[in-house]
Structure formats: C-alpha cells, structure tokens
A and B are shown apart, each in its own frame.
Chain A
Amino acid sequence: MTIRTTEFTATMPTMPTMPVIDQPKTQQTESNPLAAFFRKSKLSLSLPSRGRWYSKSSLQLNEQGGLDIYAMKADDDIKFRSGDFTLNGKNVYDVIRSCVPGILEPELVPNIDIDAILLGIRAASYGNEFDCIVDVPNTKLSRTVQTNALDLLNAMANQTNTWDEFLQITDESGKSLSLTVAPVPIKNVFETSKFILNQRKALSRAIDKDDNISDETAFSSSIDSLTKSAIDLICMSIRAISVLDANGQVTFTLDASNPQDSAQIMNCVRGLDVAYFYAIRNHIEAQKNKYLFRTVQQTSTPEEILAGAPEVWTAELSFLGSNFLPDNQ
C-alpha cells in the first residue's frame, strides 16, 4: 500500500473549453415560414446512467426527464460512416451535438451511455428494426439477428441493477481499501484507444520483416506505455480512495476531484498489489457489463452446435461504429 505524501506532482488543471452547440437559432427561425418543418425530436431517451455523473450544466432534459433525440442530417450520416468515426471521437461528438442537443458536453458523456445514445440516434434516423451481425460463441461462425432498438432501450431504461460505485477490499490484517468508482467519460476512452493504436504502430515499427526486434529501446518503451495506459484507464474510473484501519477508521482519503490527489491515486494504483488491482478491474468490468446491450436468447442450429456453439446464448451488441447503419441509404 502506498503512503500519502505531500509532493506536488500534479499538473495545473486546464480550463474546460465551451462546446459549440448546434441548436436552432430561434431569432432566425421565428421569421422563417419553414420553421414548422424543421427537424423534430423523434424519441425521448432515458439515459442508462439516469443522468448521474453529468454536471448540471451539461445536460438539458425534457419535461418527461428524458433526452430528446433528433434524426441525423445528411452530414451526420457521412460522419457516422467515415472510417475514423471512432478514432479521435470528434465525429461522435459532432453527431451527438447535432442529434441530442440536450447533451451540451458530449466529450463528458459516461461511457455506459454512449451505446444507448447512438442506438437512439439510429432508431430516430432509420427506424426501430434492424439487423445485426453477431459472432456465434466458441465458433468462427456469425449470424444475422433481428433487433428492435426501442425494445433494447426500454429494457435498459427499466433496468434496476445499476452501477455500484462502492468497492471495499479487506486484507488479512483487517485493513480495508475503500474505493468509489464511476464510468469514465468517452473522451478518455477515445484518447486511450488512440494512444494504444499509436503504440501498436510504434511496436510494429520496432519489429522487422522476420518478426525480430530491430529496435529494443523503442520496443520496450512501447510495451511499457501500453501497460501504463491500461492501468491509467482504470485509474480514471476511480473517484476516491480511502484506507481504513482494522477498526474501520479512515486513515486517509484521496479525492480525484482534487488535481493533487488525482496524481496520487494514479501512483497508488500503480503501486498496488496485483490482487487489489484485479479486484478493482473486475469490479469496474462487472459494472460496465450491466449496461451492455445483448441480443434476445438465440438457439444454435445443429451446424453451429457441431462447430462448438452452446445450445442457447446471447451476444453483445455494440453501436460505436458504422456497421449497424443500413446500406445504400
């Protein structure tokens, strides 16, 4: 366990930039005789996160407490389909700004909400029913599954098993590590994905045609960076850490909202026993899994069973990408 120090290792926080909001300009629309024919909200979405982890100023809910979802425009559709839609997230933010104007800072959307938001946009733009291609478990086969977006969104909205923020790990001496964990904003997910992609490229550059390491320094540096990025993503989920003694008394607390503590949390997690690290990671994964969209139960065909598939199964559905958009539309 690391001990809290008074070192000032954190960098100064940067001022958040105000997002550009693509909302209809009322002054202009009032005089436009076509204003009544402007894009209208197609559905109201209940966020899987129920609006937790959003700042007050970053969310504008409608009267029903949901988020108004508008159909995509032609340029949103192009952005959705572009190859680097998920590379740095800029296109994702633009599409959210355009279709979900109630989200004022799309960069800060918790990652557990992103699939529901994109599914809502898809349903508003192309209708509720669509086909998804999913992998049949334990095989190399895939199959097309009919999906109803509204059913999936309603099921998510009615889910009672929500994110559990608290995790306590107690060691054999009775000391406990108490953590508060929250879903990371999608901005961090995109940044980490981009970083991992760049490190993988650097790795491939350090390996020659015969799979030998041509540049050992670059190779080990990339491996080191990849490992750190995986840990850093876990750290980003941690909002607070407290150490409790055997009597349950708090010895010290680190709060991620404090920039100094944020750096300390990172150092603390990096120095943790591997068992603690896995416990934190597994807890976060378990929470994230609660918000996964899944297909309805599928029954394997005799051919699929022969290839190794279980008799019944469900598959995970992800909507962060263009693969669920209809062709030639």
Chain B
Amino acid sequence: MISTCRHPELFINLPSDVALNNHSPVSVYASTAQDEIIVRTPDSLMNGLAMEQMIQNCCPEFQYKTLLACDITTILGSIRIANGENTLDVYIECPHCKNSDSYEIPLRQMLVNINAKDWYTDIELPNGLKVSVRPPTYSRYSLFAMEEYKLRKSVMQISALENREDYSDIVLDLDKKHQNLVLDFQTGCIYKIEIDRAEILNQEHIKQWFSNSDLQLQKLITDHISKAEKSCQLETVTINCTDCKKSILFPLDLDFCNLFRAKLVSSDEQQIVTYLEKLNKDIKKLETELLKIVWYMRGGVSLNEAYQLTTYQRKEIAKIVEDNIELTKKTGLPIL
C-alpha cells in the first residue's frame, strides 16, 4: 500500500546519525487511519506496541528493535509534519489565573534544536577514567518506562489513601526499587570505560563499579546522561497566558505512550474510566468515518484500503463526497 498510495512526505537525518557524521536521510510517510486507531488503543499504548506499529508504518526503513531513544522525538515530530501538522496545538490551564486556552507551538523550529552530540561525547572523570556513553534503544527505554509507571502508580495510589502514613515502609521500598531501576537504566547507558589504554566493556564490571562509586562521580555521569537525554527532547516552552499575560512553562513530549502512562499515573479510577471511554469513542468515530468512505466510494476503496488512508487523503475524499452530494442535490438526482 505504501508504495502505491503513499509517498514519502519528507526525508530526515536522525540526531544519532548527525552526531556520528553519518548523513543518510531516511523517508517519513504520513500516518494512516490504522495508526490513529492504534494510538488510541489503551493496551498498545501501555506496552509500547502503538509506537512500534506507527514507526514501522510511517518509517518502514527503520528496524524498530535497533531504534535509539534519542531519535524518537525527531521521528514522531517528523510524522506529525508529514501529516501536515506544522504546529502543535496544546490546551493549557494557566497555573496563575486558571484560564484555559489553546496555544500553537511551532513544531518544525523546535525539532531543529534536537541533537544527540552529548550521547557520543566522552566523560573524563577526576580519577583518570574516561567514560563513554551511548543512547539506549527505544525498546529498552520502553521497558524502563513501563516499570517506572508501575512503581509511580503504586506510590500515587498509596498517597491517595487516608492513612498513607501506615504504608511508609512500602513507599520506602518502592522508592528504593525506583532508584535501582533508574540506576540500572543509567548504568546500561555506559558503553565503555577506558583506564590508560585498556577498555572495559563488560557490563557487569561497569555496573559494579558505578554502584560502588561515590556520589560526585555518579553525579558527573548521571548529569551527563540527563543532559544528553534532554538535548534529544523538545525544549520546555514558555507561553504567555492570553488572559493574565504571565508566563507559563510547559514541557512538551511527543511520545504518546509516555503521555498515556503519565495520564494514568495522575488520574483516579473515575478519571481513567472517562479517559478510556473517550479513546474508545474516538476509535468508533473514526471507524464510522472509514465505513462512510467505503460506502460513498462505491467499491472504489475497500475497507482494508480505507484503513491505510492518511488524514489528508480522508479529508480530500470527504470533500469529494460532499461536493458530489451538493451536485446531486442541485441536479435532483437520487444518491444511491
């Protein structure tokens, strides 16, 4: 279908390739109705399958399993641009005056600032060691994010209890598990350590060394990793409230799986049910729209093909159908 009905909308250089001076652009296609359904399916959002399917469909040249986490924002931003969305529409409630409004954020300009150079820059420690870090794969990051979600959700559930003090031991245990999870994730980003001319690549040795290093050394490395992570994400935007004119800081994240998990962490049971119902409603609405297209196209588009239509194509077909309806109304012919 991609080769026949869709064409690459843009060609991009991934931040990891640019950092390594490997300029081989990859093609990005617009997302289809099938992608829109999958990014509204709760289970696939939770386990990261939504991301895998969308990337495979919109960037068929990528091997999802080797895709690096530092490239994900650029890819997702590019898919949005391929869909014709040059700006991000965000709905924000002002923390100062509580006024809610929607704001347009220029996406294309923000993507330009993303770079992965820090991931490929060595860290020289005061004790003479040279530490090389590498970005984690997105699938590894996804596993980490899922585990982190479980721990954060447990802490949130305890904090909502009336007698939460009774669970302080459990909270401490969860906190410890979280620290270990972060430690494991960050240690996994250390690719090698150089002592004089010897290179240590054994992950067990690296992990053991890291967990036995003192705070200042650990901080040098974790700060470097955090900086590298940040430079591959969209910057926090400053928006002036339309009502009180005060500035609002708004962090941006294009990773819909992350956003879904974050929403579930901060919501109570009723809010989660409402949110999931909304997602289901959106899917049904989209499916109805696809069925209408199939019916109006009189067999010109099969249901399978309809699922492969991009947002732009669906809009155009809807316009053609509307024009035809108008025309038949004017001519007085019946619509069959």
Contacts and interface: CB of A to CB of B under 8 A. Distances in A.
Nearest to A74: B218
A38 B215 contact: no
Interface in B169-215: 169, 171-172, 175-176, 179-180, 183, 193, 195, 198, 200, 205-206, 208-209, 211-215
Given A28-B208, A32-B209, A88-B169, A82 B175 contact: yes
B4 interface: no
Contacts of A74: 179, 183, 215, 218-219, 222
A21 to B, nearest CB: 14
B169 A37 contact: no
A198 interface: yes
Interface in A12-56: 24, 28-29, 32-35, 37-39, 42
Contacts of B222: 74
Contacts, number: 77
B183 to A, nearest CB: 7
Interface stretch (A65-73, A104-112, A152-160): A65-73
Nearest to B127: A37
Given A75-B179, A84-B168, A34 B205 contact: yes
Interface in B154-176: 165, 168-169, 171-172, 175-176
Interface of B: 127, 129, 165, 168-169, 171-172, 175-176, 179-180, 183, 193, 195, 198, 200, 205-206, 208-209, 211-216, 218-219, 222
Contacts of B198: 33
B183 A75 contact: yes
B168 A77 contact: no
A276 B208 CA distance: 56
A251 interface: no
Given A34-B209, A38-B209, A72-B214, A78 B179 contact: yes
Given A73-B213, A78-B175, A79-B175, 20 more contacts: A28-B208, A33-B200, A35-B209, A37-B209, A37-B213, A38-B212, A39-B212, A39-B213, A70-B214, A71-B214, A71-B215, A73-B211, A73-B218, A74-B218, A74-B219, A75-B180, A84-B172, A88-B169, A88-B172, A198-B165
Contacts of B208: 28-29, 32, 34
A88 B216 CA distance: 27
Nearest 6 interchain pairs by C-beta: A71-B214, A34-B209, A38-B212, A74-B218, A75-B179, A72-B215
Contacts of A78: 175, 179
25 contacts: A24-B212, A29-B208, A29-B212, A32-B205, A32-B209, A33-B200, A34-B200, A35-B209, A37-B129, A37-B195, A38-B209, A38-B212, A39-B212, A39-B213, A39-B214, A70-B214, A71-B215, A73-B211, A74-B183, A77-B215, A87-B168, A88-B169, A88-B172, A90-B169, A125-B214
A220 to B, nearest CB: 22
A90 B168 CA distance: 10
Interface of A: 24, 28-29, 32-35, 37-39, 42, 70-79, 82, 84, 87-88, 90-91, 125, 198, 201, 329
Contacts of B168: 84, 87-88
In the complex, which of the residues B165, B179, B195, B212 has the most CB atoms of chain A within 10 Å of its own CB atom?
Answer: B212
Given A74-B183, A74-B219, A88-B168, A38 B213 contact: yes
A181 B188 CA distance: 52
A78 B195 CA distance: 29
Contacts of B183: 74-75
Contacts of A77: 215
Contacts of B129: 34, 37
A90 B169 CA distance: 8
Contacts of A90: 169, 172
Contacts of B200: 33-34
A72 B222 CA distance: 15
Contacts of A198: 165
Contacts of A35: 209
A173 B315 CA distance: 105
A125 B172 contact: no
B215 A76 contact: yes
Contacts of A37: 127, 129, 195, 209, 213
In the complex, which of the residues B169, B175, B214 has the most CB atoms of chain A within 10 Å of its own CB atom?
Answer: B214
A73 B215 CA distance: 4
Contacts of B213: 37-39, 73
A70 to B, nearest CB: 7
A32 B168 CA distance: 37
A139 B218 CA distance: 42
Nearest to A35: B209
